[in-house]
Structure 1
């Protein structure tokens, strides 16, 4: 075990982070236009988010183990939030989970629709190319763009 690893084969907490550009974009969207955020502030927000995720996932893991499960389920996360006093977050988390499940169903239906079309891969690709060309024509773009 090296000094940079929390356990064999896994990253240490100092190796964990969030995409800086994404966090910066989220911060900028939340702040009024006349307010800017220093790099150090963004980095602190990232550290706090990573710590929060670690806290929630550790608690969810504990709940999971108490239930003799091997996989952390969304319900474990929701219960962890409640246990740790973040009850006010659960409604939004449940809404996001509901939206996610609906998006999965929609993707599966779309995949089934493609499979059930009876068209070969080549026919589907030709149809896609045709639709792209129609779109280019509609929006006045040449096929070279």
Structure 2
């Protein structure tokens, strides 16, 4: 099997969750309008193609910069390069929010590491708290 056949087969496997897309359609459409299954499937195919287009352009930008990992900045640049300027501000806002949340998660994990308590001790304390909670629950049931 050639590389083209293999990548074509892989592309056929790409999709979006139908239930999630249907939920989005239902939320966005007026109640009196129904969306046919074929229409939903066409929308999914269009979204997958759009994502593929943006990812491909972002990959090209990444390679031109001699980077090995596609970053959010590459996606934003891809949107601009392909003429999707209307999306850039919102995507950039979401990307900045993601980076902020990632920093908060990293800070929380660092705080845990800085407690100086071994993982085994933390697990022991957790088991003790679970046992105490079970005892309280059982006492309330009686």
**Closer, same or farther in 2 for the Cα pair 1:128/1:24, shift >3 Å?**
farther
- Which position in structure 2 is the counterpart of 1:65? 63
Q: TM-score, normalised by structure 1?
A: 0.76
- Alpha-carbon distance in 2 for matches of 1:100, 1:29: 24
Is 1:37 aligned to 2:35, yes or no?
yes
Q: How many residues align?
A: 135
- 1:117 counterpart SS class: coil
Moved more, 123-132 or 69-78: 123-132
Structure holding more helix per residue: 2
Per the alignment, residue 46 of structure 1 pairs with: 44
CA-based RMSD: 2.9
C-alpha change, 1:23 and 1:4, in structure 2 (3 Å) is farther
Structure 1 stretches lacking a partner, 5+ long = none
Q: Distance in 2 between matches of 1:66 and 1:113?
A: 38
Q: CA deviation at 1:85?
A: 0.8
Higher-Rg structure is 2
Gaps of 5+ in 2: none
Aligned twin of 2:113: 115
